[in-house]
Amino acid sequence: MSSEIVVCSFYTADDYYRGWAEKLRQNLEDLGVDYELLEIEKKEGENWADICRKKVPFIASVCEKYPNKKIFWTDVDCSILSFPDFLRNFSADIIGFQRGFGSPLNIGYGQRARFWEPTFWGINTTPQARKMIRDAAALEAVATIAATDDYFMEEAWRANCENLTFQILPSNTITNKGTRNEFSKELFYTFGSSGSVAEFKGQVVQHKRQKGKLGARRRLLFTAKKIEKVLPDVVSGRLRLIADTTGLTGLLTTNKNKDAAAKERFAQLKKIVKAGQTGDRATLEETEKALRGNVITTSAEEANITAAKSFLDYSDRGSDKKLSLAWWVRPFPGNFGDWLSPLIFAKHTDRNIVFQSTTTPALSPHIISLGSIGRFIKPNSIVVGTGISSEDITLASKADYVSVRGPLTAAVLKKSGGPSVESFGDPGIIISRIVPVERKTTNGRIAFVRHFTHKNVPMKLRDNMDELDVLVGDPAGITDLLVRLNQYDSVVTSAMHIYITCQSYGIPCALVTFEGFEHKVHGTGMKYRDYSLGAGLTEVNPIAIGHDLKKIDLDNITTDYKVSEAKMNEVEAAVLEGIHRYEKR
């Protein structure tokens, strides 16, 4: 028997399928292939769909039993003529036929509602492949919908496909499928046609075909960008200000998926996030339970749920009063620097902190603070330490300015017809007061933290370096990251608020960018100078370095600047003043 692969299938306890099972058993023994064939009893009240979905936990159990063998499923009424090398030795995570046994000329969800043909496919021993199977089985165990095995497998595929390699088998390797010639792969499979697919069509949950189309909003956005490029700076700046402050920017950039199932999931996620933002714990928990009941959540969906719970940490604090705060919340689950804003204000007020979107109209007063989000300041904003990322914008002159990040933002505000502001400082400066961490004996290692836009930059780390993730928004996660940063001898980062954090605690830090990726972070780079001048420190810019950190003299670019107590006092006073002005409104 073969030691590398196992073929599995099951059949119901009736003469018809037992006959097919015996033929398959003899077929596999003739091929010298290990197999797992299971007879299952059809219980009273069960139908074809109920039997089909049992395939999912069965395949999962075979994968668990044989962690080091490739697992192939075949329908019991099919024949495997041979196991050619291209099949036996496949290296992808998943191998199988495209749904409908189609060719690569019509691959994709525009042609079929599901990706894989369920009659025959293979699962490698890789962690990614086995996770997909575990996810399918976990969903099948809790789902209350009427669905067959391929629904759950498709859900697991969609949830994991970004991390999976896959191989499509040519349809002409099946008898009576496709067209063969002298270059065709070996024909190895005979397809059976028993079952009750037609009978149950419309009675079980199906995925829908997806047809991509460029929406009117996207076309309008592209047109607007083209027009903006040819307008004089002063005109384009004013138009951009109108778009940002009225919410038109948010409307044009919001993505809507047209697929019905995806729309439903999107609506549930939107409801979960909204519940978190408004402090509606019951709705969040109820909707999350409903979402998880019938689908496998993707990593992006999990990020939305995590962000929703982070919002809830601030919006449901037990107070009967609220403080409306605007900050940049994406990408979910949250970017460390942006989510410092609610953390800092939560330490200075007992009110529930309710999120005000930066990109939609604000109907009532709100505070806008940490981040390069000055372009989204509105006439009814109370501004505390906000900055900008480029100087070619127009700031809302009628807002209530307590402080801004630095003198460069203040100059743009003055140029926009706004007031003179002389109180400077990014609120991130006071994070060491918000989360006090005693910096004791360090671990002899260097922390490496990228800006989230640098996540895919290929980097080679030193042996004494550990990479920490900047995508964290919940209070506990942020606190954990702050504690961990203080355990290191020094930090290398391309994220400005990690750099600011280090200067708040006094952690030696190198602010860098990466050669060839200098423009991945939005803006002209002026925000670094604006911050450092506003913090009363030596003017700084990120240093462009190569991708092999073993070749970089990190000591030469690492500084140990620390923000003064006087500057922290000034920034903390601005935060308190912003809250005071909000409470007076």
Distance CA 537, CA 564 (A): 9
The winner for highest mean pLDDT among 170-179, 211-220, 531-540 is 531-540
φ, ψ dihedrals at 424, nearest 5°? -120, 155
CB atoms within 10 A of CB 182: 4
Helices 149-160, 127-142: crossing angle, 10 deg rounding: 130
Percent pLDDT > 90 in the chain is: 70
Mean pLDDT (whole number) for 300-305: 92
Instruction: Say if residue 464 is exposed, middle or buried (CB neighbours under 10 Å; 0-12, 13-18, 19+).
Output: exposed
At 229, the pLDDT band (50, 70, 90 cuts) reads low
pLDDT at 163: 93
pLDDT at 146: 87
pLDDT at 193: 54
pLDDT at 196: 44
pLDDT at 69: 97
Q: What is the DSSP letter of 352?
A: E
pLDDT at 179: 77
Q: Residue 466's beta-bridge partner residues?
A: 447
pLDDT tens column, 122-151: 999 999 999 999 999 999 999 988 888 989
pLDDT at 197: 41
Checking if the pLDDT of 584 tops 70, the result is yes
DSSP calls for 203-232: TS-----------HHHHHHHHHHHHHHHS-
pLDDT at 274: 96
Mean pLDDT (whole number) for 316-335: 96
**Best CA proximity match to 231, nearest among 394, 432, 429, 465:** 394
* CA torsion, ordered 364, 366, 372, 377, to nearest 10 deg: 40
pLDDT tens column, 76-99: 999 999 999 999 999 999 999 998
CATH class of 5-200: alpha beta
Mean pLDDT (whole number) for 337-352: 97
Checking if the pLDDT of 214 tops 50, the result is no
**Best CA proximity match to 530, nearest among 447, 429, 448:** 429
At 228, the pLDDT band (50, 70, 90 cuts) reads low
pLDDT tens column, 401-421: 999 999 999 999 999 999 999
CA distances (Å), origin 16, targets 52, 364, 466: 16, 71, 60
Distance CA 428, CA 425 (A): 8
β-strands 543-545, 509-514 pairing: parallel
Stretch (H or E) spanning 10: strand 5-12
Average pLDDT, the chain: 89
Mean pLDDT (whole number) for 161-190: 88
Question: Which residue type, as a one-letter code, is found at position 54?
Answer: K
pTM above 0.75, yes or no: no
Mean pLDDT (whole number) for 153-164: 93
Strand order in the sheet with 400-404: 352-356, 322-326, 366-368, 381-386, 400-404
pLDDT at 103: 76
Q: Are 244 and 279 in contact (CB under 8 A)?
A: no
pLDDT tens column, 260-299: 777 888 999 999 999 999 999 999 999 999 999 888 888 8
Distance CA 350, CA 352 (A): 7
Mean pLDDT (whole number) for 423-448: 96
Mean pLDDT (whole number) for 479-508: 97
- Give me the CATH code for the 437-565 domain, please: 3.40.50
pLDDT tens column, 510-567: 999 999 888 889 888 999 999 999 999 998 899 999 999 999 999 999 999 999 999 9
Mean pLDDT (whole number) for 178-207: 67
Domain spans of the chain?
5-200, 437-565
* CA torsion, ordered 123, 128, 133, 134, to nearest 10 deg: 150
CA distances (Å), origin 17, targets 13, 37, 188, 342, 485: 7, 12, 22, 62, 62
Checking if the pLDDT of 3 tops 80, the result is no
CB atoms within 10 A of CB 445: 15
The string over 233-248, giving b where at least 16 C-beta atoms fall within 10 Å of a residue's C-beta and e elsewhere, is eeebbebbbebbbebb
322 versus 145: which is more confidently predicted?
Answer: 322
pLDDT at 257: 45
pLDDT tens column, 380-405: 999 999 999 999 999 999 999 999 99
Distance CA 555, CA 244 (A): 42
CB atoms within 10 A of CB 375: 22
Which tokens go with 298? 């993707």
pLDDT at 200: 40
Mean pLDDT (whole number) for 325-350: 97
Distance CA 478, CA 475 (A): 5
pLDDT at 112: 73
